[in-house]
A and B are shown apart, each in its own frame.
Chain A
């Protein structure tokens, strides 16, 4: 069964710092990997989706990479801002199963002014 792990569970950085969030998964047979942002008490907002055949995706200050063979993805945030403070979740869609997504528990990011 696919397991998704995100480390660290929480991260606090000063404004302006570049940072990397990590996501690992146990089974490399995936259709895609998606990174989400969740603000307190809110739903999930999709940030980036990487297909299994792709290595990375970029949107503004965000860059997500995928190394399917090693079961890892990273989300790079450049020049962090206080408005980036949120919980970031990654999820994979396994090839085998119910076509549902498997989520990590998230990394809670705080960017201090």
Chain B
């Protein structure tokens, strides 16, 4: 079954701690994305990657970091510099970046502060 797997489903962060959210896809997609969703707001792009070993900042990259060492994996680290990390985080992928390609989404990770 092809799809996008995000883990964990729920995550708690202590003050000053970095946490990493996992995103894995077996769709053979080149492009991957991380979005943040807050109540009553649309999704906002954090980072995206068009190809392995390359990634670009989105609208709200401050306090976050990513890596793309493998085509199927795009982990997101929420660093201690992100002062308001409580949100629902969604990972997505598409065959290629841009143009007319639809995006496919994982089931999300909900991050809260302890």
**Chain A residues with a Cβ under 8 A of chain B:** 4, 9, 31-32, 34, 36, 41-46, 49, 51, 89, 91, 93, 98-106
> Contact at A34–B102, with CB atoms within 8 Å?
yes
Distance to closest chain B CB from A51 (angstroms): 6
Q: Report the bound CA distance from A36 to B102 in whole Å.
A: 11
Give the number of residue pairs across the A-B interface with Cβ within 8 Å: 64
> Contact at A51–B100, with CB atoms within 8 Å?
yes
For window 37-91 of chain B, which residues contact chain A by CB distance below 8 Å?
Answer: 40-45, 48, 56, 58-59, 90
> Contact at B97–A31, with CB atoms within 8 Å?
no
> Contact at B40–A105, with CB atoms within 8 Å?
yes
> Contact at B42–A106, with CB atoms within 8 Å?
yes
Q: With A41-B108, A43-B90, A89-B42 as given contacts, are A101 and B103 in contact (CB-CB < 8 Å)? A: yes
Q: With a 10 A CB-CB cut-off, give which of B102, B106, B107, B110 has the most chain A CB atoms.
A: B102
> Contact at A32–B100, with CB atoms within 8 Å?
yes
Q: With a 10 A CB-CB cut-off, give which of B4, B42, B106, B108 has the most chain A CB atoms.
A: B42
A-B contact pairs, 5 of them (CB 8 A): A31-B98, A43-B105, A98-B48, A98-B56, A105-B42
Q: Name B42's contact: one of A4, A43, A99 (CB within 8 Å).
A: A4
**Chain B residues with a Cβ under 8 A of chain A:** 4, 6, 33, 35, 40-45, 48, 56, 58-59, 90, 92, 97-100, 102-108, 110
> Contact at B40–A9, with CB atoms within 8 Å?
yes
Task: With A34-B102, A99-B97 given, name 17 new contacts (CB 8 A).
Answer: A9-B40, A31-B98, A31-B99, A32-B100, A44-B43, A44-B92, A45-B105, A89-B43, A93-B98, A98-B48, A99-B99, A101-B103, A103-B35, A103-B42, A103-B43, A103-B44, A105-B42
> Contact at A31–B108, with CB atoms within 8 Å?
no
Which residues from chain B contact A44 at a C-beta distance below 8 Å? 43, 90, 92, 105
Distance to closest chain A CB from B114 (angstroms): 20
Q: Report the bound CA distance from A32 to B112 in whole Å.
A: 34
Which residues from chain A contact B45 at a C-beta distance below 8 Å? 98, 100-101
